[in-house]
Amino acid sequence: MLVHHFAINVKDIARSKTFYTPLMKLLGQDISFEVPDRYCGYANNAFGLGQDSTGHPSQIHIAFNANSQAQVDEFYKMALELGGKCNGQPGLRTQYAPTYYAAFVHDFDGNNIEVVHLSGAYGNEKAD
C-alpha cells in the first residue's frame, strides 16, 4: 500500500464519531485506536478522524469499498439516517466503469463520502 493512513479533520470529533462509527462497522471496521477528544482511528488506524484545532476542517472526497451493491444501498440509507446529506443516490456510474455502483453523502463537515462496489471491473473485486 502506498498510503499508511489518512485522517480528516472535523469540527466536533464526538459528533463525527456518531456518524462514522456505525458506517465503518457496516463495512466491517471497528475503532482500532483512540486518543480521547483528539483522534479516532478505524481499520487498524488506516482511516481516522482528528479534532480540528485550526478552524478549517477537511473538505475532501473519500471512497470506501463495499462488498455488494446491497451494502452500498445500506451504507447510503444509514448515512442519511445519521444526519448525512445526499450527494448522489445509489446507482451505476458507468462513466467510471461499466459496473461502478456507488452512492455519495456529505458528512457534518462537508466531506464527500462515497461508498462503491465494483463487480469485477478490474478483475479482483467480488461479484454480487
Per the structure, the count of domains in the chain is: 1
Query: Residue 88 falls within a domain, yes or no?
Result: yes
Residue 1 is assigned to a structural domain of this protein: no
Structural domain containing residue 88: 6-118
Least confident of 28-32, 91-95, 123-127: 123-127
Tens digits of per-residue pLDDT, 56-82? 888 899 999 999 999 999 999 999 999
- Report if residue 54 sits inside a domain: yes
* C-alpha–C-alpha distance, residues 27 and 94, integer Å: 23
Report if residue 90 sits inside a domain. Answer: yes
CATH code (residue 74): 3.10.180.10
Range 7-32 average pLDDT: 96
With 0.85 as the threshold, say if the pTM is over it.
yes
- Summarised one tens digit per residue, pLDDT across range 107-122 is 999 999 999 999 875 5
- Residue 27 three-state SS: coil
Question: Is residue 60 within 8 Å of 49, Cβ to Cβ?
Answer: no
